[in-house]
Every structure is written in C-alpha cells, then in structure tokens.
C-alpha cells in the first residue's frame, strides 16, 4: 500500500537527512525532488546523476538508475564503467545489482529474497553508501 504523499515526503526528507549525516562529504549534492532522491556522482572519468526513485517507498524498494539531466535513464554504454550488471531481463533497462533496489528483487536470481525482510536494513543511507562504493567513490 502506498503512503499518503505528505507522509512519503516527510519520510524521504528524513532519509536524506540521515544519509547526509551518515555519508558526510560523500553525500555531495544529495537532494529530494518530489519522490526522487538525486545525487551527482563525480569521478575523474566523468559525472553522472544517480536517481533513487522512491515513489512507492517504502512499500517497495528504491529504483536506482543513472539518468540524464532530463530524468531519462541513460543507455548502458553511458553508465559508470563496471557499475551496471547489464540490461535487466524483465525491466529492460540497465541495472545495478544491489540488495535494496527494485531491480535486485525483480531479478529471477533473487526471487527467494523479499523486500519485506530487508526494508529496515536498506534505508537510503546504507543503500547510497553501497552504491557509492560500487561506483568507486
């Protein structure tokens, strides 16, 4: 069941504050835009916008993607090298295989794992920490 929009906004604002506290300077420009958490990932070889789509959070996990400045999911060849596992077999978009993301639980190799058992371990702070490490940051 989806949260009331005002409740979701409050929850996502809390998630951003906790992530900033946990990540410190690594949180860089983490911000909430509606039901999305956005952060610019900057490496010597380029910069990317990481989007955690939380429109169904926390009934469902965040959808983690790299997007362009218009919010469109980047094609696989434009993702951070080594960040994406490939094209998701059922979602048909590039995906990062990290527990706590929608693509992880929607992948056939993880059907036995349930978001409901992981939801309190994978808040934005720990998920972003894992994604930043995977991106080499």
Element (H, E) at 51: strand 46-53
pTM (predicted TM-score): 0.91
Could you give phi then psi for residue 134, rounded to 5 degrees? Answer: -60, -35
- Looking at the structure of the chain, the number of domains it has is 1
pLDDT bin (cut points 50, 70, 90) of residue 59 is confident
Query: What share of the chain has pLDDT > 70, as a percent?
Result: 91
pLDDT, position 97: 86
pLDDT bin (cut points 50, 70, 90) of residue 8 is very high
* Residues present in the chain in total: 137
pLDDT bin (cut points 50, 70, 90) of residue 75 is very high
pLDDT, position 33: 97
Average pLDDT over residues 1-27: 93
Structural contact between residues 56 and 95, judged by C-beta atoms closer than 8 angstroms: no
- For residue 98, what are the domain limits? 5-134
């Amino acid at each position: 069941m989806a949260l009331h929009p005002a409740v979701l906004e409050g929850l996502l604002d809390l998630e951003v504050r906790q992530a900033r506290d946990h990540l410190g300077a690594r949180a860089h420009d983490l911000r909430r835009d509606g039901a999305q958490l956005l952060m610019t990932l900057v490496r010597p070889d380029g910069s990317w916008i990481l989007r955690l789509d939380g429109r169904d959070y926390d009934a469902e996990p965040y959808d983690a993607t790299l997007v362009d400045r218009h919010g469109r999911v980047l094609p696989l060849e434009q993702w951070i090298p080594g960040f994406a596992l490939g094209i998701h077999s059922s979602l048909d978009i590039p995906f990062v295989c990290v527990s706590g993301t929608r693509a992880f639980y929607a992948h056939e190799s993880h059907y036995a794992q349930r978001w409901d058992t992981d939801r309190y371990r994978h808040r934005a702070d720990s998920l972003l920490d894992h994604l930043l490490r995977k991106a080499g940051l």
